[in-house]
């Protein structure tokens, strides 16, 4: 954990965080505007597994993969998943540094709050495990097993829960930063 903390402390320069944030946002927007819609064309209104924060069950996965058909499953596997293999790394790196950047601004980088910078890394790892699970499911369909679906769903939910906690923390830190900045202006 000490290496992680040193990494955060050494990489929270504004320009670096800005460019990483910009790149991460571009990849996310590309997924939202291109790869996910390209896959969902085949889904008959059903959501992709990565977009179900509260989970799914065996029947849902079967119904989704059936709706996708061969071409849709292939699109999911060869277009959506490859981009989604880049995004978790960028998410973990960028959002850890972004939180570190603002913790530094409110003079809390040396406090135990720095451990919260690990949340995006945990979410990114869960996203990778979810992606690997989806790959297994796509490659084994129609011979899915309940355990494969359940494990993949657990990783989907862990990714979503960890991300939600992270963004709640980030909003609180941004509010703290805003209040500090406001009082600093009033003092001057």
Residue 186 is predicted with a pLDDT of 64
Tokens 């590309």, residue? 30
DSSP 141: T
pLDDT at 31: 97
pLDDT of residue 183: 80
The number of beta carbons lying within 10 Å of the beta carbon of residue 100 is 24
Residue matched to tokens 């291109």: 34
Q: What is the pLDDT of residue 156?
A: 97
pLDDT digit string, tens, across residues 52-73:
999 999 999 999 999 999 999 9
Instruction: Quickly list H helices, the chain.
Output: 2-10, 14-30, 36-40, 58-75, 81-84, 87-105, 119-140, 146-187
pLDDT confidence of residue 143? 97
The answer, as to whether pTM is greater than 0.75, is yes
Q: How many CB atoms lie within 10 A of CB 76?
A: 28
Measure the CA–CA gap between 147 and 140, rounded to whole angstroms: 13
What are the domain boundaries of the chain?
A: 2-179
Q: Provide the terminal-to-terminal Cα distance of the chain, rounded to the nearest Å.
A: 39
Structure tokens at 46: 């059903």
Task: Tell me which residues of the chain have a pLDDT lower than 50.
Answer: none
Residue 144 three-state SS = coil
In the prediction, which pLDDT does 132 show? 98
pLDDT at 188: 53
Nearest residue to 80 via CA among 52, 56, 50, 125? 50
- CA distances 127 to 77, 160, 181, Å, are 15, 9, 35
The confidence score (pLDDT) of residue 184 equals 76
């Amino acid at each position: 954990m000490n290496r992680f903390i040193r990494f955060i402390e050494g990489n929270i320069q504004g320009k670096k965080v800005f460019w990483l944030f910009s790149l991460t946002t571009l990849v996310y927007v590309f997924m939202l505007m291109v790869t996910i819609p390209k896959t969902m064309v085949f889904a008959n209104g059903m959501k992709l597994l990565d977009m179900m924060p509260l989970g799914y069950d065996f029947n849902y996965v079967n119904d989704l993969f059936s709706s996708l058909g061969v071409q849709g499953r292939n699109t999911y596997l060869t277009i959506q998943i490859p981009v989604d293999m880049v995004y978790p790394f960028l998410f973990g790196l960028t959002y850890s540094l972004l939180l570190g950047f603002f913790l530094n601004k409110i003079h809390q980088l040396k406090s135990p709050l720095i451990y919260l910078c690990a949340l995006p890394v945990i979410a990114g790892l869960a996203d990778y495990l979810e992606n690997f699970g989806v790959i297994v499911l796509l490659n084994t369909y129609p011979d899915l097993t309940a355990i494969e679906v359940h494990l993949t769903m657990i990783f989907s939910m862990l990714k979503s829960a960890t991300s939600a906690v992270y963004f709640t923390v980030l909003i609180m830190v941004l509010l703290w930063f805003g209040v500090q900045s406001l009082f600093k202006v009033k003092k001057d």
